[in-house]
Amino acid sequence: MYDIIGDIHGYCSKLKELLIKMNYEKINGTWKHPERKAIFVGDYIDRGPEIRETLHLVRNMVEAGSAIALMGNHEFNALAFKYHHPDGGHIRKHSHKNILQHYETIRQFHDHESEWEDYLGWIANLPLFLEIDGLRIVHACWDDNHIDYLKKINGPITKEILLKAHDKENHKDAWTVYEEILKGKEIKLPDGHFFIDKEGNKRTECRTKWWMNTDGLTLQQYLFHAPVTVRELVVPEEYQSEGYDVKAPNVFFGHYWLDPATPTVQAENICCLDYSVAKKGPLVAYRWSGENTIDNKHFVSVR
């Protein structure tokens, strides 16, 4: 019996509210449930006001055996932001855009550098996917080929892995696996079309609802944030996909900043748990107790 919890982004107070609502108790400094275990889908850092507190709470639960924590793209980015690149600079560039994304984490750990280094060591050992009791959990996208690739890699995320994962030209396989597992699949918009993302950046590629069979779908149906100018176009032939098998195990993920109005399952075996907590949306969990079909009645959330 698992409580799968979406992206937290440093909103520790909301996480505590959610745990209390699900009858977890703080015992000897660690949140626990007598019968259930929490599973976190990643993205503990950046944006929110209580990043250190969030990492402390999540790590304590993991080390006490009352939770499992996965890596999100923000944790992966933080590791790459740390390491110097052999050609100069850092693996993840210290650009204005990237510094802004990490700003709250940098600020809150400003006088706690050794603590941050310790957390980075812990983060490097977090799994990127989980298969447990017939469930699948990942931060952004489940792709069987990518999972098979990751199963062959033992140990933590190292500098060498990060270098390959950020080198699309020379290590495209590695780049694709980490990009899509942690950030989702994207397609390039037709020439001249773009959208402005939640952080004000101009985007010419758009995230897909990768679990959907594209047969007969328009871009409005298949894409997150499809520009008005392309919504009626059908999915181009080069991006056609059968999607995630409807008979495959239930898969849970976060990452996509869904409309915060009402948590809703995406399909019988597809569930996103990210409802934009960093944009005043709810922090959401799904309480799984062995059911084969994901059901809206099992969502729990706090605002």
Asked if residue 179 is part of any domain, the answer here is: no
Number of domains in the chain: 2
Among 158, 155, 26, which residue's Cα sits nearest to residue 82? Answer: 158
Q: Return mean pLDDT, the chain.
A: 95
Residues 89 and 212 in one domain: no
Token pair recorded at residue 269? 């075996």
Token pair recorded at residue 205? 């590629």
Residues 255 and 238 in one domain: no
Percentage of the chain lying above the pLDDT 70 cut = 100
Residues 150 and 61 in one domain: yes
Asked if residue 147 is part of any domain, the answer here is: yes
The pLDDT of residue 222: 97
Among 40, 41, 38, 35, which residue's Cα sits nearest to residue 67? Answer: 38
* Residue 105 belongs to domain spanning: 2-171+246-302
Asked if residue 251 is part of any domain, the answer here is: yes
- Give dist(CA 18, CA 280) in Å, integer: 15
Residue 268: strand, helix, or coil = coil
Residues 208 and 285 in one domain: no
The pLDDT of residue 92: 98
Asked if residue 213 is part of any domain, the answer here is: yes
| Residue 207 contacts residue 224 (beta carbons within 8 Å) | yes
Long-range contacts of 214-223 (CB under 8 A, 24+ apart): 214/239, 214/240, 214/241, 214/242, 214/243, 215/240, 223/187
Residues 250 and 229 in one domain: no
The pLDDT of residue 150: 97
pTM, rounded to two decimals: 0.95
Asked if residue 88 is part of any domain, the answer here is: yes
| Ordered alpha helix ranges (H), the chain | 12-21, 51-64, 73-82, 96-108, 113-123, 144-151, 159-165, 172-183, 219-222
Q: What is the pLDDT of residues 158-206, one digit of tens each?
A: 999 999 999 999 999 999 999 999 999 999 988 888 878 777 778 888 9
Q: What is the pLDDT of residues 48-91, one digit of tens each?
A: 999 999 999 999 999 999 999 999 999 999 999 999 999 999 99
